[in-house]
Amino acid sequence: MARWDKEGNTESIPDWFWEAIDVEPVTKTVEVDECDVSYRHYEAIGKPGMLLIHGMNAHSRWWDFIAPQLLDRYQVAAMDLTGMGDSDYRYEYSSNTYADEILAVLDDAKFGTDSIVVAHSFGGYMAVRAANKAPDRFKALVMVDSGIRHPDDPVPEQIWMSGARSKIYPDKETALNRFRVQPPQPCDNEFLLQYIARNSLMPVDGGWTWKFDEDLLTSLTDAERKPEEFQALTTTLGVIFGADSELFSRRTLEYMQELIPEPFPIKEISNAQHHLFLDQPQAFVESLLEMCQKF
C-alpha cells in the first residue's frame, strides 16, 4: 500500500491495520490445468497451515489486514481463484477445477493435513467441493457467510451480475470512486474499502479496470449448491456469519444443520453484513481463532 497517505489518516485508521499491512508475504504460483494460480504465503515454519479463500470477483488481498493477525498460531496462505486477482483467466471455469486449485495451493504451500481452510461466500462452496474431493487433505473448513439456502426459499437475485462487467476507466481515481462491494452494503470502515479498491485495479490499454474476468459468470459451470454435497461432508465444519447478512439467514443455518449430521460450531458476528470481516474485522479474527481452538 502506498501510504495514501498515512499522514492525515492516523486518527481515523487504527494502528492494527498499519501493523498488519506492513507484513509482507511471499507471492507464489502453482500451475493447475495449464493456468497459474497465484497465492500470498505468510511463512511460519512449524505452525499448522491456514488457507484463506475469497468470494466472487474478489481476490487474495481482501485478506491483507486479516492474515497477519493469525500468524501467532498459523502460517497462512491467501489464494486467487482463477479468473480473479493475479491468477490466470480460463476459457471455462468449474467448481471441480476450483477444488483442484484449492488442493494444489495447500500442497504447494506444504500445508499438512492439520490445516484449516477459511472460505468466504462463493469460495466457501468451492471449498466444500475440495473437502468432498479430498476429505482427509485438511483438518477443518470454516465457511464465512457461506452455505446453502433452503429449497423453499426464493432464489436470490443474481446480485453478482450487477457491476460484474469489468469496465475500463480513464484514470485510477475515477475507478476508485466507482468501487462497490456486492451485494451492496454500507461499511463504516471506509479505509478498508479504499485499501481493497486500490489493490483491485490493473492498468490496461486506455485506462484502468478491475482484476476479474468479465466472462467468468457466463463461462462458469457446475456451480449450483447441492444438498447432497453438504450431506457428504466428513471434514470438520465451522460457520461464521454476519447477523445482518442478506445472503445468510437463520433458515440457511437450520437447513445446513439438517443436512450435516455432526454438530458444528457457529458464530454470529453482531453489526455485520455479508462482508463481515470488513464490517467487524477484529471481532472476526477473535471469533475465527476461538473457533479453530475447538477443532
Domain ranges of the chain: 15-152+216-292
pLDDT at residue 85, as a whole number = 97
- CA 141, CA 196: separation in Å to the nearest integer? 25
Q: How confident is the model over 182-222, as pLDDT tens digits?
A: 888 889 999 999 999 999 999 988 899 999 999 998 999 99
* Mean residue pLDDT across the chain: 92
Q: 468470494: which residue's cell? A: 55
Kindly report the backbone phi and psi dihedral angles of residue 119, in degrees, each rounded to the nearest multiple of 5, phi listed first.
Answer: -135, 130
pLDDT at residue 9, as a whole number = 54
- CA 92, CA 106: separation in Å to the nearest integer? 23
pLDDT bracket for residue 161 (50, 70, 90)? very low
- CA 111, CA 155: separation in Å to the nearest integer? 37
Q: How confident is the model over 129-138, as pLDDT tens digits?
A: 999 999 999 9
Q: How is domain 15-152+216-292 classified at the architecture level of CATH?
A: 3-Layer(aba) Sandwich (3.40)
Please give the average per-residue pLDDT across 120-127, as a whole number: 97
DSSP 85: T
SS (H, E, C) 8-64: CCCCCCCHHHHHHHCCCCEEEEEEECCEEEEEEEECCCCCCEEEEECCCCCCHHHHC
